[in-house]
Amino acid sequence: MSKRRGRMSEKQMLSRLRRNRQWFGLCLMLLTVLALFACVWKYTVIIRGQADEHNLTKSRLTQVTHTKTVLARRGEIVDADGNAIAETGNTYTVYAIIKHQYEGDKRKVVKDKVKTAQTLAKYLQMSETKILERLTPSSARTTQVEFGGAGSGLNLATKQSIQKEKLPGIHFSTTPARLYPNGIFASHEIGRTVATTTKTGLTKITGTMGLEKSFNSLLSGHNGQEQYQTDSFQYKIDGTTKIIKKAQDGGTVYTTINSNLQNYLESLMTTAQEKYQPTTMTATIMNAKTGAILATSQRPTYEPTTGSGLTNMWRSLLVQDVYEPGSVMKIMTLASAINSGNYNPNQYYKSGEVTVDGAKLYDWNKAGWGMIPLSQAFTRSSNVGMVKLEQTMGAKTWLSYLHKFGFGTKTNLHLPGESAGRIAYSSTPDQASTAFGQAISVTVAQMLRAMSAVADGGRMVEPRIVAKTVSGSGKETKYGKQELAKVVSADTATQVRQAMVKVVTDPNGTGGSYAIKGMDVGVKTGTAQISGSHGYLRGSQNYLHSVAAMVPSKNPNYIVYLTMKQPKITDGKSANDVLATIFKPLIKRAIALESNATSSVGTTMNTVGDFEGKNQNEVKNELQKAGFKVAVVGTGNEVVQQLPTANQQAMAGSRVILMTNGAMTMPSVSGWGKSDVLKLAQITGVKFKLKGEGYASAQTLKAGSLITGDGVTVTFTSK
């Protein structure tokens, strides 16, 4: 019995073990299923973008989504006809990739370094040997190389010419740049910009001088933003770009400047400067009735694109520099005396010198002309005569007229850094000296404003160089004629202008150099001593010579004001003779342009189309039918660049320059004006040296020759 129970126990034990194994297998299977379910659940959660309380979708997007600043294009400064004086373009830097930077880099690398060097040497001012050295760096880790100054600042035509060569591994970066197509062109008034790189690598263009500075905010516009996604190799994924904020380009500043007059004036100024080397020189022509400055120039000046010459003079002589004007001030002295009832033309006085409160004041001719009537004081430019008028008026009355004429206060010319000038009036000799333009400091702009009262029937107008502005959003702000107080009566103004005519026509007058046959001209000349650290400078050359003219004197349309400091005149001419070489051709040109403007010839304005990428022969025919002259640069059949740029207004009969693909060749510039030659220099990126004045008559590089970086000299002569 006991054995049987033992065997039963053994069977039961085996059965129990079997059941245990079954339960264990079942539990193991259940745990496996649970673990699998947990894995599936976790994977599902991850797919849905959530793990450990982190949103993986957001993390993934943070890694591949980029925000980019979209730069606003800086607006233009244009002339009175809408032609660009300052505009924004691009310059380009060429670089070569000689080795991939990372695995998966899809950009092409340089394959044939010798061929690449030979080809680039055609377009860069760099030898084939030097280029090859750059393409073969000593460090094996170098993946990309540039070519220094020779490979940067390239214009669009050069970039496109290199691209046409289809050189593997040659790439370009783009940099926004400010361009001044006319070169030296009222440079201190138009101004200049600087380009800076921000911490994020953006190029920012900021106005630092002239209108570029005054209207910097309007010209700058507002940058935009866009988002896009990239793959693991940082390549942009198509279709993922999203505009967050649209960029608003800068607005436009419309000036009153007439480009034809301005370019001509710059030419006249350069000729006088090179020949007589004055330390400073200014010239301005203003519309007498509206105050619009039609042309203004100074020497020293500078080339705004390169900044060459800026270290010689960074100040605008139109509004920033003050000086003692000398005898031109006698226009205002005579007007004040007549208007206040203190002028007796038949009263005689002893010329030569006068003592005022112990101080002796002299005429420019110290010996004088004996006893002469006050009617000759203005004609002869007698300082003593003006002192007599100031004493008759009284210091208080004369000072009140100085203030009425605007001296001691700034004009509203919209140029930065303007000076207010100063009237020295603490002593009796100083009070008397202001009557002939000493002991008072003024700006050119102030003198123009004061003279406008005499030119325009007694009512003074504010000089202006800006006609209007249009913001990027289209808001227009006009800066029209601004009439100021009536300073003198119309009859007084007429009498002063008649006295100015006598300065030219009377045998005793000082302005005979400015007579123009058949033209009604009134002027007042000036010769002012120059103040130094120890009183006035001595010597025959230490004077500021000037002339103010009103044309036609009976009803002036123009005020012309010129100054010239310390010229070196060695050819026997007088200072007035030298200034007349600027005044006479300038006023003749102004009147000729006015005559043309009143006729139907050459006044039609047409829009220049967008011709880039089109056949040059078809474009040429289209432009000629529209009344334009056409010049073609290059041997190709496709237009790659144009001036004026697309959609600009240009006068019928003006010249459009087309740059084509292929070799860059020189056109014939015979008969061209300077403005057209400067456009050619801009579009080719080659430095042109301009000699003489008038119209192009000779060029050092023959028509059809390949244009290189050696520069071209063009000679101009008057027709």
User: d(Cα 690, Cα 697) in Å, to the nearest integer?
Assistant: 11
Task: For residues 200-221, give the mean pLDDT.
Answer: 91
Task: For residues 518-538, give the mean pLDDT.
Answer: 87
Pairing state between β 459-461 and 77-78? unpaired
Query: Confidence band (pLDDT; 50, 70, 90) for 417?
Result: very high
According to the 3-state scheme, what is the secondary structure of 41-91?
HHHHHHHCCEECCEEHHHHHHHHHEEEEEECCCCCCEECCCCCEEEEEEEE
Enumerate the active-site residues: 327
CA neighbor of 65 nearest in space, from 242, 230, 244? 230
User: d(Cα 143, Cα 161) in Å, to the nearest integer?
Assistant: 25
Task: For residues 481-493, give the mean pLDDT.
Answer: 96
Which pLDDT value is given to residue 191? 97
User: d(Cα 479, Cα 211) in Å, to the nearest integer?
Assistant: 14
Query: Confidence band (pLDDT; 50, 70, 90) for 5?
Result: very low
Structure tokens at 30: 């259940």
Contact 544, 324 (CB under 8 A): yes
Read off the pLDDT of residues 132-162 as tens digits, 9 standing for 90 and up: 999 999 888 888 999 988 888 787 888 888 9
Task: For residues 635-660, give the mean pLDDT.
Answer: 80
User: d(Cα 665, Cα 643) in Å, to the nearest integer?
Assistant: 16
Which pLDDT value is given to residue 44? 62
Burial 388-400 (b: 16+ CB within 10 A, else e): bbbbbbeeebbbe
User: d(Cα 302, Cα 312) in Å, to the nearest integer?
Assistant: 8
At 661, the amino acid letter reads N
pLDDT of 205 strictly over 80: yes
Which pLDDT value is given to residue 651? 66
State whether residue 714 is helix, strand or coil.
Answer: strand
CA neighbor of 588 nearest in space, from 500, 693, 678, 689? 693
Which residue is it, tokens 């340089």? Answer: 110
Which pLDDT value is given to residue 296? 98
pLDDT of 116 strictly over 80: yes
Contacts of residue 52, Cβ cutoff 8 Å, sequence gap at least 6:
none
Which pLDDT value is given to residue 30? 78
Q: Considering the chain, what is the average pLDDT of its residues?
A: 87
The whole-angstrom distance between residue 288's C-alpha and the CA centroid of its chain comes to 25
pLDDT of 627 strictly over 90: no
Which pLDDT value is given to residue 10? 67
User: Apex CA 628: angle with CA 623 and CA 632, to 5°?
Assistant: 70
Distances (CA, A) of 553 to 69, 328, 459, 473: 57, 16, 16, 44
Structure tokens at 328: 């031109």
Task: For residues 50-67, give the mean pLDDT.
Answer: 54
User: d(Cα 454, Cα 670) in Å, to the nearest integer?
Assistant: 43
User: d(Cα 209, Cα 245) in Å, to the nearest integer?
Assistant: 30
CA neighbor of 208 nearest in space, from 224, 222, 221, 195? 195
CA neighbor of 173 nearest in space, from 203, 196, 215, 141? 203
Q: What percent of the chain has pLDDT over 70?
A: 89
pLDDT of 58 strictly over 90: no
Contact 284, 494 (CB under 8 A): no
In this structure, what are the phi and psi dihedrals at residue 19, rounded to the nearest 5 degrees?
-65, -40
Which pLDDT value is given to residue 290? 96
State whether residue 350 is helix, strand or coil.
Answer: strand
Read off the pLDDT of residues 396-410 as tens digits, 9 standing for 90 and up: 999 999 999 999 999
User: Apex CA 388: angle with CA 490 and CA 512, to 5°?
Assistant: 65
Listed range (82-86, 187-191, 339-343) with the worst mean pLDDT: 82-86
Tell me the β-bridge partners of 1: none
Which pLDDT value is given to residue 274? 92
Which pLDDT value is given to residue 50? 52
In this structure, what are the phi and psi dihedrals at residue 679, rounded to the nearest 5 degrees?
-65, -40
**Neighbour tally for 589: CB within 10 Å:** 18
Read off the pLDDT of residues 295-331 as tens digits, 9 standing for 90 and up: 999 999 999 987 889 988 999 999 999 999 999 999 9
User: d(Cα 367, Cα 370) in Å, to the nearest integer?
Assistant: 8
At 134, the amino acid letter reads R
User: d(Cα 369, Cα 48) in Å, to the nearest integer?
Assistant: 106
Query: Confidence band (pLDDT; 50, 70, 90) for 42?
Result: low
Read off the pLDDT of residues 582-620 as tens digits, 9 standing for 90 and up: 999 999 999 888 765 543 333 355 778 888 889 888 888
Contact 569, 300 (CB under 8 A): no
State whether residue 4 is helix, strand or coil.
Answer: helix
Task: For residues 563-590, give the mean pLDDT.
Answer: 95
Task: For residues 536-542, give the mean pLDDT.
Answer: 80
CA neighbor of 381 nearest in space, from 458, 438, 448, 329? 329
